[in-house]
């Protein structure tokens, strides 16, 4: 599904990613872990075309995403929920969802499906997005990304700052997407959540691959993951 | 509030202005006709600035393109009102497309400067080719060409009704546009261009579309101004006429459909009334504008939207 090979990314003269390689498979949750400043968000932005690679490639089902401008990447079926949600605050909940639906021809049935996943949003359809609580904003950001009918879903610390009930809602959505065959690439700092959900974990450090673990390894030796993060 | 309320509000304003045709004294009748045409210009500007976040300092080039596109065809070729108006609109479409293709490669302050430079270039071109444009003096549109469907547009009653019809059509179009999905994408771009791109929207093409719509409405206003008031002059393509719509929109409320009209109305009468009191009327106008900016930073309609009616379009 997603295949990243030898990726270098720089901000001007500062190289942030150094030869990063990673894969994410359909129907699996792939977690990306690393300390602050390791380059996780940079990698997400590079996948979305916001940062051009200096070397290496990013391919989704054989299509080179790294050759596409940012607005073409979602049309390939990539949904991205960035850190901090970044909603369109002046638009209503309904309009935010509609903006997502329009890109890949989503219809009323998909809209209804999204509102079934997030019933709280149905009660807030006419409300401006900037008046929602943090948890509701995360639901809306997630719904808007799902409106793209993603084959690959990128989530950058989706549970940061949320209360436990909201974290559970997001967890269920991630699991549902996996069960529907979506490839999920999740940046997550909470080790317990990763141990619970991940099918595969990539650890990056100082912008380079440090370790890779499959589910069996994670179960057998959870301390290995904790050691990387110093927790 | 439901759609019924805001449609009622906007249609109510249109009805009120129509009633004005029958009740306004002659002097105010002429003023309001002029304000409606200028408000169309401001509504065009608002699509670029208020809804899409494109702060242009050169919109007078589009107003001027419409005015001269219309005026030159009338003046040199005795073209009728409709083909001359069409020429003005086409001039606006072409100019906004060309300027957009070049200027939208920049953003922020650079975009402001580039649009200002393009506008100044057009204004200087109009002055330079004085054999065709009559330079600084401008020219009067021949009265024989100022006729539309049997109406003499130098007649005040006809002028008011045409200005009202134009204002009404553009107001309803703007209301439709900003409620349409395109309008929502414009707002999405203004709010967060990167995020809109990551949902699959080509920011450049969308902004170009907004600028062409904005420039075309501005040109329509310029063409109508020449047709209804019978004069075309290089002043209308100068920097002052690029600042005016920005002020009207800021005073009325950027990103509101009614804001441009309210801002144009307010500023027109502020200057009109203060000039009757003192020669230093620009000082009074300036102080009033500073106070308004300080205490109502979102503009008159913008404050209503912020405090009372948050989903007012």
What is the pLDDT, as a whole number, of residue B162?
96
Domain boundaries, chain B: 3-307
pLDDT, average across residues B190-213: 95
Helix/strand/coil percent split, chain B, to 5? 75, 5, 20
Assess B106–A contact: CB distance below 8 Å, yes or no. Answer: no
Confidence of residue A106 (pLDDT cuts 50, 70, 90): low
Burial B226-262 (b: 16+ CB within 10 A, else e): bbbbbebbbebbbeebbebbbbbbbbbbbbbbbbbbb
Work out the percent of chain B whose per-residue pLDDT is above 90: 84
Handedness of CA A94, A100, A102, A108 (dihedral sign): negative
Q: Is residue A138 part of a domain?
A: no
**How many angstroms separate the CA atoms of A173 and B142, rounded?**
69
Q: Nearest by CB to A70, from B184, B192, B197: name it.
A: B197
Tens digit of each residue's pLDDT (9 = 90 or more) over B30-67: 999 999 999 999 999 999 999 999 999 999 999 999 99
**How many angstroms separate the CA atoms of A68 and A70, rounded?**
6
Tokens 């600028």 belong to residue:
B211
In this model, does residue A5 exceed pLDDT 80? yes
Task: Please give the helix or strand (H or E) that residue B162 lies within, else none.
Answer: helix B156-179
A128, β-bridge pairs: A92
Is there a contact between B66 and B221 (Cβ–Cβ < 8 Å)? yes
pLDDT, average across residues B90-101: 98
What is the pLDDT, as a whole number, of residue A85?
64
Work out the percent of chain A whose per-residue pLDDT is above 70: 99
Q: Distance between terminal CA atoms of chain B?
A: 11
What is the pLDDT, as a whole number, of residue B284?
86
Number of domains in chain A: 1
Q: Is residue A118 part of a domain?
A: no
Do the Cβ atoms of B200 and A75 come within 8 Å?
yes
Phi-psi group of B286: left, alpha or beta (phi > 0 → left; psi -120 to 50 → alpha; rest → beta): alpha
What is the pLDDT, as a whole number, of residue B77?
94
In this model, does residue B73 exceed pLDDT 80? yes
Q: If we measure between CA atoms, which residue out of A144, A187, A142, A139 comes closest to residue A165?
A: A139
Task: Report the 10 Å Cβ neighbour count for A24.
Answer: 26
Minimum distance, in Å, between the CA of residue B44 and any CA atom of chain A: 21
Q: Distance between terminal CA atoms of chain A?
A: 32
Q: What is the pTM of this model?
A: 0.89
Interface test with A, best of B178, B184, B198 (most A CBs within 10 A): B198
Domain encompassing residue A225: 2-85+152-229
- List, in order, residues 6 or more apart from B117 with CB less than 8 Å away: B58
Give the residue on B whose Cα is nearest the Cα of A44.
B198
| Of A85-94, A212-221, B63-72, B184-193, the least confident | A85-94
Is there a contact between B46 and B54 (Cβ–Cβ < 8 Å)? no
Kindly list the residues from chain A whose CB atom is less than 8 angstroms away from the CB atom of residue B184. 91, 95, 98-99
Tokens 């401006």 belong to residue:
A128
Give the residue on B whose Cα is nearest the Cα of A154.
B198
Task: Please give the helix or strand (H or E) that residue B147 lies within, else none.
Answer: strand B147-148
What is the pLDDT, as a whole number, of residue B5?
84
What is the pLDDT, as a whole number, of residue A210?
93
Do the Cβ atoms of B188 and A73 come within 8 Å?
no
Confidence of residue A193 (pLDDT cuts 50, 70, 90): confident
**How many angstroms separate the CA atoms of B9 and A2, rounded?**
52
The structure tokens listed for A69 are 């401008």
Give CATH for domain B3-307: 1.10.3470
Handedness of CA B210, B212, B217, B218 (dihedral sign): positive
Confidence of residue A153 (pLDDT cuts 50, 70, 90): very high
Q: What is the DSSP string of B8-58?
A: HHHHHHHHHHHHHHHHS-HHHHHHHHHHHHHHHHHHHHHIIIIIT----S-
Q: Which residue has the higher pLDDT, A194 or B59?
A: B59
**Could you write out the three-class secondary structure of chain A?**
CEEEEEEEEEECCEEEEEEEEEEECCCCEEEEECCCCCCHHHHHHHHCCCCCCCEEEEEECCEEHHHCCHHHCHHHCEEEECCCCCCCCCCEHHHHHHHHHHHCCCCHHHHHHHHHHCHHHHCCCCCEHHHCCHHHHHHHHHHHHHCCCCCEEEEECCCCCCCHHHHHHHHHHHHHHHHCCCEEEEECCCHHHHHHHCCEEEEEECCEEEEEEEHHHHHHCHHHHHHHHCC
DSSP letter for B137, please.
G
Q: Is residue A103 part of a domain?
A: no
Do the Cβ atoms of B198 and A100 come within 8 Å?
no
Do the Cβ atoms of A88 and B191 come within 8 Å?
yes
Half-sphere exposure of A53 (CA within 13 A, CB side): 25
Q: What is the largest CA-CA distance in chain A?
A: 49
**How many angstroms separate the CA atoms of A177 and A162, rounded?**
20
Assess A69–B contact: CB distance below 8 Å, yes or no. Answer: yes
Tens digit of each residue's pLDDT (9 = 90 or more) over B129-179: 999 999 989 999 999 889 988 889 989 999 999 999 999 999 999 999 999
B148, β-bridge pairs: B151
Is there a contact between A86 and A99 (Cβ–Cβ < 8 Å)? no
Helix (H, G, I), strand (E, B) or coil at B152: strand
Task: Report the 10 Å Cβ neighbour count for A27.
Answer: 14
CATH of the domain at A81: 3.40.50.300
Pairing of strands A2-11, A55-60: antiparallel
């Amino acid at each position: 599904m997603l295949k990243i090979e030898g990726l270098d990314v720089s901000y001007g003269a500062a190289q942030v990613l150094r030869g990063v390689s990673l894969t994410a498979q359909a129907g699996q949750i792939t977690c990306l872990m690393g300390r602050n400043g390791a380059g996780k968000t940079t990698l997400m932005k590079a996948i979305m075309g916001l940062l051009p690679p200096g070397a290496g490639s990013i391919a989704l089902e054989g299509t080179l995403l790294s050759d596409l401008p940012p607005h073409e990447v979602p049309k390939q079926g990539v949904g991205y929920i960035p850190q901090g949600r970044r909603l369109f605050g002046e638009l209503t909940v309904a309009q935010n969802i509609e903006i997502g639906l329009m890109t890949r021809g989503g219809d009323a049935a998909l809209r209804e499906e999204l509102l079934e996943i997030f019933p709280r949003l149905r009660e807030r359809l006419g409300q401006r997005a900037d008046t929602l609580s943090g948890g509701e904003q995360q639901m809306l950001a997630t719904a808007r990304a799902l409106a793209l009918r993603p084959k690959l879903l990128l989530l950058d610390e989706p549970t940061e700052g949320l209360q436990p009930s909201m974290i559970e809602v997001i967890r269920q959505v991630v699991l549902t997407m996996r069960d529907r065959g979506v490839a999920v690439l999740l940046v997550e700092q909470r080790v317990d959540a990763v141990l619970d959900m991940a099918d595969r974990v990539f650890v990056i450090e100082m912008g380079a691959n440090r370790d890779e673990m499959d589910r069996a390894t994670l179960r057998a030796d959870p301390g290995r993951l904790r050691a990387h993060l110093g927790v | 509030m439901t759609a019924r309320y805001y449609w009622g509000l906007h249609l109510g304003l249109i009805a009120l202005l129509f009633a004005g045709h029958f009740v306004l004294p002659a002097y105010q009748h002429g003023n309001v006709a002029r304000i409606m045409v200028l408000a169309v210009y401001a509504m065009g500007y608002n699509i670029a600035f208020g809804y899409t976040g494109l702060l242009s300092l050169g919109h007078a080039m589009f107003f001027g393109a419409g005015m001269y596109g219309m005026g030159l065809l009338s003046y040199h070729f005795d073209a009728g009102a409709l083909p001359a108006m069409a020429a003005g609109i086409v001039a606006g479409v072409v100019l906004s497309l060309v300027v957009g293709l070049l200027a939208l490669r920049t953003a922020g302050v650079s975009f402001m400067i580039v649009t200002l430079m393009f506008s100044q270039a057009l204004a200087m071109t109009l002055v330079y080719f004085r054999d065709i444009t009559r330079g600084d003096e401008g020219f009067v549109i021949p009265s024989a060409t100022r006729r539309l469907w049997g109406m003499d547009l130098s007649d005040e009653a006809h002028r008011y009704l045409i200005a009202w019809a134009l204002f009404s059509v553009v107001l309803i179009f703007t209301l439709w546009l900003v409620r349409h999905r395109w309008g929502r994408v414009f707002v999405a771009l203004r709010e967060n261009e990167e995020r809109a791109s990551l949902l699959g929207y080509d920011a450049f093409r969308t902004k170009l579309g907004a600028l062409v719509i904005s420039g075309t409405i501005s040109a329509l206003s310029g063409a109508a101004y020449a047709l209804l008031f019978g004069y075309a002059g290089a002043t209308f393509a100068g920097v002052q006429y690029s600042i005016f719509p920005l002020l009207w929109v800021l005073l009325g409320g950027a990103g509101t459909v009614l804001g441009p009209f309210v801002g144009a109305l307010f500023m027109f009468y502020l200057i009109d009334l203060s000039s009757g009191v003192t020669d230093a009327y620009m000082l009074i106008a300036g102080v009033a504008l500073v106070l308004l900016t300080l205490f109502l930073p979102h503009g008159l309609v913008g404050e209503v939207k912020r405090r009372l009616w948050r989903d007012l379009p």
